[in-house]
Homo-oligomer: A and B are copies of this chain.
């Protein structure tokens, strides 16, 4: 139904709808499984959060409670693909440990895997179909994020706004939609793109609502496209589409369809090692390395200056002092204080006790952020960070970080992924750790599954 049959979005759709498992290079398949394990663990780590509990309650209220699709960490409830995607998509984004794709400034995994799992269980997809659909979802979510870029990210939570395209694409692939239907699904998804940053100001739960609804909206878009609902044909580049309306026309059109089948978005995504907002990671890594190398102790620090890019200032600047555990992960001062005091900024470093720690709060007040033009020019291609530490004995020390742990250039081993996953599962109070470990092991052999199994555990 596109009025522009040769658009980049059409190209991407044509490529995606024809993509098969056998087209995927081995590293793409391996990484797809890696991020699935990581996401499963993120979801279970988030399951006790009130936002997730609330959405779970909603799913039960709406029904059904006996569908084909599982809710991760809630083995007693089954539901529809829409609500499974909704709840799992919210849960996986709670603890801020899900992956990040640099250039698009979005978190694809928390959208793509919950959607793929829900729809696969609904239609009885195989492990290979699941993997292929996830790869497709990454391409739409990340390419659209790159297309919309910084001007969009300043106003919108890109994880949600382009995530919904990824969810629609993943679903469309699993439903084996024809290219015209696939394009409709993308159009319907894009016109629903939403997600504002206002929640950062008062530490409310919209971040999880955004990912949850992006998943559910993507499912809706592809299922309705399959039964004839027409979506607009050029939702990205059209005169009144996402680029013109949500991106202020400052876009990178070639990102939509360059190097299809040669450049894989999923290989460009990063694991999160620290449990804080990804914008704090370069500075945290720089500070930890500086303190170790220069033998600076927590008590020695007079002040810290974090040189960073504008998007970090924009997002982190909204979170105030960090009143809640979640909001504290968006305070550069608090994250650097935690990293300095504990040598890490992991899941168990951000607690109610930490919020009440006057020592942390004191150093937090002596951390400042400064815009660095060189670092800003490199963003979002590179997420760099530099910290400058003034010690109480008058030294001024500096450290720059180019690659943080978890980035494609310094990725996690399977052992590290497993150990991160186990820590997440413990954080989520998983009772049956053997069942959880077994689920992770089954993910490593996902391509052998004729039908996507249940991964849930108590």
Residues in A lying within 8 Å of B, measured CB to CB = 1-3, 50-51, 53-55, 57-58, 61-64, 67, 80-83, 155-156, 184, 187-188, 190-206, 209-210, 213, 217, 220, 223-224, 227-235, 238-242, 245-246, 318
B184 engages A204 (CB within 8 Å)? yes
Q: Contacts A206-B188, A245-B155 given; indicate if A198 touches B235 (C-beta within 8 A).
A: yes
Copies of this protein in the complex: 2
A245 to chain B: which residues have CB within 8 Å? Answer: 155-156, 196-198
Instruction: List 18 A–B pairs whose Cβ atoms lie within 8 Å, in order of A's numbering.
Output: A50-B228, A55-B229, A58-B220, A63-B63, A63-B64, A63-B67, A187-B199, A191-B194, A192-B210, A193-B196, A196-B241, A198-B238, A198-B239, A198-B241, A199-B231, A202-B234, A205-B229, A240-B318
B241 engages A202 (CB within 8 Å)? no
B228 engages A54 (CB within 8 Å)? yes
Alpha-carbon distance A194/B190, docked complex (angstroms):
9
Alpha-carbon distance A155/B83, docked complex (angstroms):
30
Question: Looking at the complex, which one of B81, B196, B201, B202 makes contact with A62 (CB distance below 8 Å)?
Answer: B81
A191 engages B206 (CB within 8 Å)? yes
Question: Looking at the complex, which one of B83, B199, B227 makes contact with A53 (CB distance below 8 Å)?
Answer: B227
A232 to chain B: which residues have CB within 8 Å? Answer: 198-199, 201-202, 204, 206
**How far, in Å, is A120 (CB) from chain B's closest CB?**
15
Alpha-carbon distance A62/B68, docked complex (angstroms):
10
**How far, in Å, is A51 (CB) from chain B's closest CB?**
5
Alpha-carbon distance A153/B308, docked complex (angstroms):
36
Alpha-carbon distance A191/B211, docked complex (angstroms):
12
A83 to chain B: which residues have CB within 8 Å? Answer: 62
A62 to chain B: which residues have CB within 8 Å? Answer: 80-83
A190 to chain B: which residues have CB within 8 Å? Answer: 196, 198
A197 to chain B: which residues have CB within 8 Å? Answer: 240, 245
Alpha-carbon distance A194/B161, docked complex (angstroms):
10
B228 engages A209 (CB within 8 Å)? no
A227 engages B196 (CB within 8 Å)? no
User: What 3 A-B pairs come out closest when comparing CB atoms?
Assistant: A194-B194, A54-B229, A62-B80
A200 to chain B: which residues have CB within 8 Å? Answer: 240
Alpha-carbon distance A234/B201, docked complex (angstroms):
9
**Which chain B residue lies CB-closest to A61?**
B223
Alpha-carbon distance A194/B241, docked complex (angstroms):
12
Alpha-carbon distance A429/B81, docked complex (angstroms):
33
Alpha-carbon distance A155/B1, docked complex (angstroms):
22
Question: Looking at the complex, which one of B51, B82, B229 makes contact with A51 (CB distance below 8 Å)?
Answer: B229
Known: A58-B223, A191-B199, A206-B232. 15 other contacts (CB 8 A): A3-B201, A51-B228, A54-B224, A54-B228, A155-B240, A187-B204, A191-B209, A191-B210, A192-B210, A193-B194, A196-B235, A196-B241, A198-B238, A205-B231, A209-B231
Question: Looking at the complex, which one of B82, B192, B196, B239 makes contact with A209 (CB distance below 8 Å)?
Answer: B192
A204 engages B224 (CB within 8 Å)? no
**Which chain B residue lies CB-closest to A190?**
B196
Alpha-carbon distance A206/B227, docked complex (angstroms):
15
A198 to chain B: which residues have CB within 8 Å? Answer: 187, 190-191, 232, 234-235, 238-241, 245
Counting chain B CB atoms within 10 Å of each CB, which of A81, A193, A240 scores highest? A240
**Which chain B residue lies CB-closest to A161?**
B194
B205 engages A318 (CB within 8 Å)? no
Alpha-carbon distance A240/B157, docked complex (angstroms):
11
Alpha-carbon distance A184/B205, docked complex (angstroms):
9
**How far, in Å, is A301 (CB) from chain B's closest CB?**
30
B61 engages A201 (CB within 8 Å)? no
A205 to chain B: which residues have CB within 8 Å? Answer: 188, 229-231
A230 to chain B: which residues have CB within 8 Å? Answer: 50-51, 204-205
Alpha-carbon distance A134/B184, docked complex (angstroms):
33
Alpha-carbon distance A2/B81, docked complex (angstroms):
34
**Which chain B residue lies CB-closest to A188?**
B209
Q: Contacts A191-B194, A241-B198 given; indicate if A231 touches B213 (C-beta within 8 A).
A: no
